[in-house]
Amino acid sequence: MERAAAFVPYAATLWLAFWVAVDLVAPTSEGSEARLVAPDTLFALAPMIVCAVMSWRATAMFAAAAVALVVWSGSGWLNDTWPQAQQWIRLIDVVLVGAAAVLIAYVRVRREQQLARVTTIAETAQRAILPSLPAGADGLRMAARYLSAAEDAVVGGDLYDCCLEGYTRVLVGDMRGKGLAAVEQAARVIRSFRQAAAAKHHLSDVASSMHAYLEPFFGSEEFATALLVECSPDSITLTSAGHPPAILISRDGAVRYLEVPAGLPLGIGDDFSETTVAWGTGDRLLLYTDGLSEARDAGGEFLQLLDACAKLGTGTIEDALAALLDEVRRHVPHGDLGDDLAVVMLEHPPAVSVVPSQASRQQPVHWSSAKLIAPSRR
């Protein structure tokens, strides 16, 4: 849009200049000073060209220029057509088209401003509900990234959260729909996770509790997919509610999907199961929303996730997520996503994290603390 806005004024100016040149060099009719070609009405296309991308004030300037050129074209020293009724009709035509172009530009700008305000509110609400994940817990490191879609896309309901009270559990989910309604429901999904994650013994019970809490709030066509993960020093347990599978990046370079029975999304069904797999020192786990798995290139080809993740086993997990998002931007046309995406990476670190002091243990957990170290129940 910015490139178009920069080019359009020149295109409209060239349009006016071209027809002025035609008006000057066109042959005159025999026995008269009037030109055989009268391009006066074509001047009105200049404001129509710019009204699609420029402000109503800029459009009004081109409309005024078009009217002035019609007056000049009919003047006595050029065509001398003002005594004719046809020239007045041309002038009225250009005035009306120019006024319509100004009105179109004014309405468009007002709607764009309104959409920008709504989008800003939605983005602010979404940032407010998404926590800043702590750097890790005892024996676990974590990092998260959220990538917004193209500028003209509506904010979605992608979400993530973690629980470090009694258990070490992580949630990644995606609320169906877009806009403020999806953000509001995503906040409810996070609230339901926080209520259940620290209280339920089994991960499948956490999902069931979330479903029971959310079902009364969801409409007939609303639901949320989710993937729940519980981490221990030697294994990870996963429960899926219709969500894309996690990807395990082993320390030896192997990359694979962790196949989990795909339960129904939250708000639709209450049939969840658990799958436990081993993981060891140096292993990493990638959780993501469908904005990543469904990213397509110009030819409609999906991003090859396993190939992209094969490069994420080295460096810090923050660097790994940054590299993954760069890969996604290179894959999609012009770097513009069709949907928001959230990614979370968990790592079984090579060394045990530093245990916080007794004084720090007595402090309440703050989700905004990027350096928080909290104990695991294991």
176 close to 222: Cβ distance less than 8 angstroms:
yes
Residue 78 has a pLDDT of 60
Distances (CA, A) of 72 to 30, 38, 78, 202: 22, 12, 8, 83
Residue 351 has a pLDDT of 57
Backbone torsion region of residue 31, taken as left when φ is above 0, otherwise alpha when ψ lies between -120 and 50, otherwise beta: left
Residue 1 has a pLDDT of 54
Residue 361 has a pLDDT of 32
Q: DSSP strand E in 242-333: where?
A: 247-249, 255-257, 275-278, 284-288
Q: List the beta bridge partners of residue 249.
A: 255, 284
For residue 248, how far is the Cα from the chain centroid? 26
Query: What burial class does residue 267 get, using C-beta atoms within 10 Å of its C-beta: 0-12 exposed, 13-18 middle, 19+ buried?
Result: buried
Alpha-carbon Rg for the chain in angstroms: 31
Question: Nearest to residue 183, comparing CAs of 264, 266, 127, 144?
Answer: 127
174 vs 156: CA distance, rounded Å: 8
174 vs 243: CA distance, rounded Å: 8
Could you read off the pLDDT tens digit of each residue along the chain, which spans 378 residues? 556 667 888 999 999 898 888 877 766 655 555 556 677 888 999 999 999 889 999 999 999 999 998 888 876 556 666 777 778 888 899 999 999 999 999 999 999 888 878 777 766 766 777 777 887 777 799 999 988 775 545 567 889 999 988 889 999 999 987 777 888 898 999 999 999 999 999 999 999 999 999 999 998 889 999 999 999 989 999 999 999 999 999 998 899 999 999 899 999 988 899 999 999 999 999 999 998 998 888 888 999 999 999 989 989 999 999 999 999 989 988 777 878 889 999 999 875 444 444 333 333 333 223 333 333 333
Task: Give, for 330, the enclosing helix (H) or strand (E).
Answer: helix 317-331
- pTM of the predicted model, to two decimals? 0.67
Domain ranges of the chain: 2-121, 131-374
For residue 374, how far is the Cα from the chain centroid? 32
User: Phi and psi for 81 in degrees, rounded to 5?
Assistant: -110, 5
Backbone torsion region of residue 120, taken as left when φ is above 0, otherwise alpha when ψ lies between -120 and 50, otherwise beta: alpha
Tokens 């029971």 label which residue? 212
Question: Which three-class secondary structure state does DSSP give residue 17?
Answer: helix
Question: Which three-class secondary structure state does DSSP give residue 178?
Answer: strand
Q: Which CATH architecture has domain 131-374?
A: 4-Layer Sandwich (3.60)
